[in-house]
Amino acid sequence: MSERVEPASRRRSVSGGLYRRLVIGVPYLWLLLFFFVPFLIVLKISLSETAIALPPYTPAFTFDSLSGFVGHVRELGIGSYVWLTGDPLYLNSYLSSLFIAAVSTALTLAIGYPFAYGMAKAPRAVRPILLMLTILPFWTSFLIRVYAWIGILKNEGLLNQFLLWLGVISQPLVILNTDTAVYIGIVYSYLPFMVLPIYASLERMDGTLLEAAQDLGCPPVKAFWTITFPLSLPGVLAGAFLVFIPAVGEFVIPDLLGGSQTLMIGKTLWNEFFNNRDWPVASAVAIVLLLVLVLPIVLFQRAQARHAL
């Protein structure tokens, strides 16, 4: 009997191992097809030379149509990367994008944390409703939501009309086509990405810790900073990354709500690709932007892993 059962259990273990490999392999396959392969294509274009052609660059290497392998390799050019270091426009675009994204992330955290805290402390029956209201804006197109802010923030918009009606201001405020409008658009658009991770961390927190602190005479404010906030840091960091990373490369919000003086790397990329048709330089800008965003995250994860050990 044992000789018959053992092969069956072995087959189940083998099939279970194959299933686990398949489940683990699907995300890696997704990253390979939709992240690594496009990254290699952009990297190839960044090492090419600009040309009056279609597409507007001379490939750094070509492929043999029969074998599928590299057929001819030209001299790989780094002129696009050298160009980035010589023109202050790109450095200013990077610095401005990082600054706007950092300020927007801080504002989103300042608004999103109390929002998430209130959701976590609400009665359990009300939490699903609050959660649905948080994700409700995602049911509307992102572009339509940004366009709606134009009607709100312009000189004859709803905000100025409301403030004039209250008598708070005597003339319309100039908000549209400024950095302030960009901050408003980013904070509004990415607020759910900050609220949801923080809410998930706060909801899982053990409430008996606060009760124990209260029994020991700890004031509520001190209990919040010594217990609640440290335990919610994983959600805060996750929300900060989810807001900061897309905000750095944002194009739609600064293009629609920002003015001509609003300098962000997303608009610079657009101009290089579609106005100047300088694909190698634009690809180099994208590669550098990716490294600027990915490397700090990798270093942070390694530091967290060493700290956990």
DSSP assignments along 150-183, one per residue: HHHHSTTSHHHHHHHHHTS-SS----TTSHHHHH
- In sequence order, the β-bridge partners of residue 67 are none
* Distance, CA of 69 to CA of 222 (rounded, Å): 64
Tell me the Cα Rg of the chain.
26
pLDDT of amino acid 28: 87
Q: How far is CA 283 from CA 57, 175, 234, 288, 289, in A?
A: 11, 33, 33, 9, 10
Contacts of residue 170, defined as CB under 8 A and 6 or more positions apart, other chains included, come to 164
Written as one letter, the residue type at 288 is V
pLDDT of amino acid 76: 63
pLDDT of amino acid 8: 60
- From the list 102, 44, 78, the residue with the least C-alpha distance to 293 is 102
- Residue 72's H or E segment, with its range, is strand 70-73
DSSP sequence for 175-236: -TTSHHHHHHHHHHHHHHHHHHHHHHHHHTS-HHHHHHHHHTT--HHHHIIIIIHHHTHHHH
Output the tens digit of pLDDT for each of the chain's 309 residues. Answer: 444 545 666 666 666 667 778 888 888 888 888 888 888 888 888 888 877 777 777 776 665 554 445 555 555 677 788 888 888 989 999 999 999 999 999 999 999 999 999 999 999 999 999 999 999 888 888 999 999 999 999 988 899 999 999 988 889 989 998 999 999 999 999 999 999 999 999 998 888 888 888 888 889 899 899 999 999 999 999 999 999 999 998 999 999 998 878 889 988 888 888 888 888 888 999 999 888 888 777 877 776 777 666
CB–CB of 230/210 below 8 Å? no
CB–CB of 281/296 below 8 Å? no
* Distance, CA of 283 to CA of 83 (rounded, Å): 12
* Distance, CA of 68 to CA of 281 (rounded, Å): 27
pLDDT of amino acid 291: 86
* Distance, CA of 93 to CA of 289 (rounded, Å): 10
| 78: its two tokens | 């780094």
pLDDT of amino acid 2: 47
pLDDT of amino acid 273: 85
* Distance, CA of 33 to CA of 28 (rounded, Å): 9
pLDDT of amino acid 84: 86
